[in-house]
């Protein structure tokens, strides 16, 4: 991304519950500026137009610059609730499905990308990840499993550019809650985040199966009984929770050879941890940069002429 500010053609915003990431594209579709802050939907207190206008000033973009938003900004908690698309809708149709913001100032082309609702034997939803998945498809990853770790980790199975299966795991949220409350909290507070032995021990617990709550308590039991150093507890919880995702996928896809390879769209820290767990499950993990895939999707929206 260049340091100067050439012609600004599009501002794309990944507007989540807690955080907000913005990308500025020029007329060629190149990302020329990036901005990240903690002004997620919960921090806006309903003043979304004010928050967007302030962001455009920060980005040195004109008030009339087209804006494309994805994530929780399109939820009931956000600016405007945008209905989910059915997973039968191909990802490359997303540009045609972007919804204009109601009540936007005259001359402003502001749109919100809808999320997806999948009903493949159950019901699951996503908002924001669909835009990253579109970017992954555009750079050649049209088939196979894509993992998007985070507060709610998403596993999306793609077939010819469509999401045919979606599974969400509350991994990040559970880890945060366990870190802050309960009997595991003191151990996790003093434990080491980067501890390969602890991570492997947690993965082994996940592979063993059984109730997650029992496996979690067993970590505390091992420490107090002297069978595990307290320094391993934090990484062990990570290994167990992340390992539970892979164990579930392993059971569901035991006869599918394509499941031996996954793509990861995540920050370097999460990609590293998920990559380690994938290796322990004998899965090959390809890392995709989240900024790269998001900007690839934005360039497609720009090319479509919708914004």
List, for residues 173-183, the tens digit of each pLDDT value.
999 999 999 99
| Judgement on whether residues 210 and 102 belong to the same structural domain of the protein | no
What is the largest distance, in Å, between two alpha-carbon atoms of the chain? 67
Across the range 220-230, mean pLDDT stands at: 95
List, for residues 72-85, the tens digit of each pLDDT value.
999 999 999 999 99
Q: Would residue 86 count as lying in a domain?
A: yes
pLDDT of the residue at 1? 46
The pTM is what?
A: 0.92
| Judgement on whether residues 268 and 195 belong to the same structural domain of the protein | yes
Q: What does the alpha-carbon distance between residue 295 and residue 300 come to, in Å, rounded to a whole number?
A: 9
Any idea which of 191-195, 256-260, 262-266, 269-273 has the lowest mean pLDDT?
Answer: 256-260
pLDDT of the residue at 254? 55
Q: Supply the range of the domain harboring residue 195.
A: 169-288
Query: What token pair was written down for 92?
Result: 């490359």
Q: Would residue 300 count as lying in a domain?
A: yes
Any idea which of 59-63, 105-109, 257-261 has the lowest mean pLDDT?
Answer: 257-261
pLDDT of the residue at 167? 94
Contacts of 38 (CB under 8 A, 6+ apart): 18, 19, 20
List, for residues 145-173, the tens digit of each pLDDT value.
999 998 899 999 999 999 999 999 999 99
Question: What is the number of other CB atoms lying within 10 angstroms of the CB of residue 209?
Answer: 12
pLDDT bracket for residue 120 (50, 70, 90): confident
Residue 247, domain CATH: 3.30.420.310
| Judgement on whether residues 121 and 216 belong to the same structural domain of the protein | no
| Average pLDDT of every residue of the chain | 92
More confident of the two residues 279 and 253 = 279
Q: In this structure, are residues 117 and 105 in contact, taking their beta carbons and an 8 Å threshold?
A: no
Question: What is the number of other CB atoms lying within 10 angstroms of the CB of residue 14?
Answer: 25
Q: Would residue 162 count as lying in a domain?
A: no
| Judgement on whether residues 133 and 186 belong to the same structural domain of the protein | no
| Judgement on whether residues 198 and 266 belong to the same structural domain of the protein | yes
| Judgement on whether residues 283 and 213 belong to the same structural domain of the protein | yes
| Judgement on whether residues 265 and 300 belong to the same structural domain of the protein | no
| Judgement on whether residues 276 and 300 belong to the same structural domain of the protein | no
Task: For Cα atoms 5, 41, 245, give the angle at the middle one, nearest 5 degrees.
Answer: 100
Residue 103, domain CATH: 3.30.420.300
**Per-residue 3-state assignment (H helix, E strand, C coil) for 15-67:** ECCCCEEEEEECCCCCEEEEEEECCCHHHCCCCHHHHHHHHHHHCCCCCCCCE
| Judgement on whether residues 299 and 272 belong to the same structural domain of the protein | no
pLDDT of the residue at 5? 52
pLDDT bracket for residue 299 (50, 70, 90): very high
pLDDT bracket for residue 268 (50, 70, 90): confident
Q: Would residue 272 count as lying in a domain?
A: yes
| 3-state class (DSSP) for residue 11 | strand
Q: Would residue 159 count as lying in a domain?
A: no
Number of domains in the chain: 2
Q: Would residue 53 count as lying in a domain?
A: yes
Q: Would residue 147 count as lying in a domain?
A: no
| Judgement on whether residues 96 and 198 belong to the same structural domain of the protein | no
Across the range 25-44, mean pLDDT stands at: 93
| Judgement on whether residues 195 and 277 belong to the same structural domain of the protein | yes
pLDDT bracket for residue 250 (50, 70, 90): confident
Across the range 38-50, mean pLDDT stands at: 93
């Amino acid at each position: 991304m260049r340091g100067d500010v050439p012609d600004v053609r599009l501002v794309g915003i990944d507007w989540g519950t807690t955080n907000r990431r913005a990308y500025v594209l020029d007329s060629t579709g190149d990302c020329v500026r990036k901005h990240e802050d903690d002004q997620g939907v919960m921090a806006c207190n309903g003043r979304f137009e004010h928050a967007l206008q302030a962001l455009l000033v920060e980005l040195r973009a004109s008030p009339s610059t087209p804006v494309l938003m994805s994530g929780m900004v399109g939820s009931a908690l956000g600016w405007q609730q945008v209905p989910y698309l059915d997973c039968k809708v191909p990802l490359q149709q997303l540009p045609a499905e972007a919804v204009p913001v109601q009540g936007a100032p005259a001359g402003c082309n502001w749109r919100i990308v809808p999320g997806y609702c999948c009903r493949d034997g159950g019901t699951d939803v996503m908002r924001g990840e669909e835009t990253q998945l579109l970017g992954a498809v555009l750079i050649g990853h049209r088939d196979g499993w894509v993992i998007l770790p985070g507060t709610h980790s998403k596993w999306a199975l793609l077939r010819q550019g469509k999401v045919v299966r979606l599974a969400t795991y509350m991994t990040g949220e559970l880890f945060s809650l366990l870190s802050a409350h309960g009997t595991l909290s003191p151990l996790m507070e003093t434990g080491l985040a980067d501890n390969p032995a602890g991570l492997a021990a947690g993965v082994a617990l996940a592979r063993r199966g059984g109730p997650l709550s029992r496996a979690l308590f067993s970590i505390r039991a091992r420490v107090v009984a002297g069978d595990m150093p307290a320094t391993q507890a934090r990484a062990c919880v990570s290994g167990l929770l992340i390992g539970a995702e892979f164990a579930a996928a392993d059971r569901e896809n035991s006869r599918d050879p394509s499941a031996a390879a996954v793509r990861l769209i995540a920050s370097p820290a999460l990609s590293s941890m998920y990559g380690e767990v994938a290796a322990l499950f004998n899965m090959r993990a390809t890392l995709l940069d989240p900024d790269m895939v998001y900007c690839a999707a934005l360039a497609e929206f720009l090319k479509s002429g919708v914004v």
